[in-house]
Amino acid sequence: KQEVTQIPAALSVPEGENLVLNCSFTDSAIYNLQWFRQDPGKGLTSLLLIQSSQREQTSGRLNASLDKSSGRSTLYIAASQPGDSATYLCAVRRTSGTYKYIFGTGTRLKVLA
């Protein structure tokens, strides 16, 4: 059974810091991995999607990497801003025959001005 873990559960940093959020999964047979952002009381906003054949994806100040063999993904946020404060969730799709995502419990990020 696929299990997804995110560490740390919560993180508070001063504005301007570069930071790394971690996601690990127990079954390396994944089709893709998607990072989401969730603001309080809101739905999920897609940030980056990495296919299993890819090593990383970048969008602006965000960079996500994937190491399938070790069951890990990291989300790197450069030059953090107060507006980055949110919960960050990673989700994996297990195989090409299954479309559902298995989510981690998220990392709650607070960037202090």
**In this structure, are residues 102 and 91 in contact, taking their beta carbons and an 8 Å threshold?**
yes
In this structure, what are the phi and psi dihedrals at residue 73, rounded to the nearest 5 degrees? -140, 145
CB of 94 to other proteins, least distance (A): 11
Bridge-based pairing state of the strands 56-59 and 4-7: unpaired
Q: Token pair 């507006």 is at which residue?
A: 83
Closer residue to other proteins (CB): 11 or 49:
49
12-20, 29-37, 58-66, 71-79 -> range binding other proteins (CB under 8 A): 29-37
Interacting residue with other proteins among 43, 60, 69, 113 (CB under 8 A): 43
Asked if 40 is part of the footprint of other proteins (rule: CB under 8 A), the reply reads: no
14-22, 62-70, 71-79, 104-112 -> range binding other proteins (CB under 8 A): 104-112
Distance spanning both ends of the chain, measured CA to CA: 41
What is the rounded CA–CA span in Å between residue 113 and residue 111?
7
Single-letter code of the amino acid located at 72: R
Interacting residue with other proteins among 21, 25, 64, 93 (CB under 8 A): 93
Residues that bind other proteins (CB under 8 A): 4, 31-32, 34, 36, 41-46, 49, 51, 89, 91, 93, 98-106
